[in-house]
Amino acid sequence: MDDAIIIPVLGIMLPIIITLGAFVMVAYIRKYENIERMAIIDKGLSPDLFKKERSTSGALRAALLLIGSGIGILMGFWLDAAFNMEEVAYFSMILIFGGLGLGMAYLIEEKKNKD
Alpha-carbon distance of 89 to 99, in angstroms, equals 15
Residue 68: Cβ within 10 Å count: 23
Alpha-carbon distance of 89 to 101, in angstroms, equals 18
pLDDT in tens, 35-74: 988 888 898 888 777 777 777 788 999 999 999 999 999 9
pLDDT in tens, 72-109: 999 999 999 999 988 899 999 999 999 999 999 999 99
Q: In this structure, is the dihedral angle defined by the CA atoms of residues 11, 13, 18 and 22, taken in order, positive or negative?
A: positive
Closest CA to 49 of 32, 33, 60: 33
What angle is formed at CA 84 by the lines to CA 80 and CA 89, rounded to 5 degrees?
40
Task: Kindly compute the dihedral angle of the four CA atoms of residues 101, 68, 96, 57, in this order, to the nearest 10 degrees.
Answer: 30
Q: Where are the domains of the chain?
A: 3-49, 53-110
29 pLDDT tier (thresholds 50, 70, 90): very high
Q: What is the pTM of this model?
A: 0.58
Closest CA to 101 of 112, 109, 90, 89: 109
